[in-house]
Amino acid sequence: MPNQKDQTGGRATKSVNKPTETADGEPVHLSEADFDEFISNHKLCVIDFWAEWCAPCRFLEPIVEELAREYAGKAAFGKLNVDDNPRIAERYEIMSIPTLLVFKDGQPVHTIVGAMPKGALIEQLRPFLG
């Protein structure tokens, strides 16, 4: 699958054909068009709500990418740019970014707000990731 430039500061990411597929344990960049399908088609998923201009979001980005690889097969990871997809952010009352929402069976079950070191994030996710 070819790498494409996206809106994450010019970093190359893999695109996927369907939002239900993950690209080799990489977070899937979501939009309003595929968000609902993505959370419905994964028993457990973690969605990173972010924006390009957000420095704490850029801090968290490589951590989310690492977790997506480490927990591939246990949880699907997605990223949703709140500036490009405001209706989804509104639906889940995202007031600050970065915010990570954990979805189980299509329903939000846990919210994590703010950037934090990888160890602290794992502690927040451990009850869901096993």
Residue positions annotated with a catalytic role: 54, 57
Output the six-digit token pair for 76: 């699907």
Are 15 and 2 in contact by the 8 Å Cβ rule? The answer is yes
Per residue in 107-119, is it b (16+ CB within 10 Å) or e — as a string? eeeeebeebbeee
CA distance 101 to 113: 9
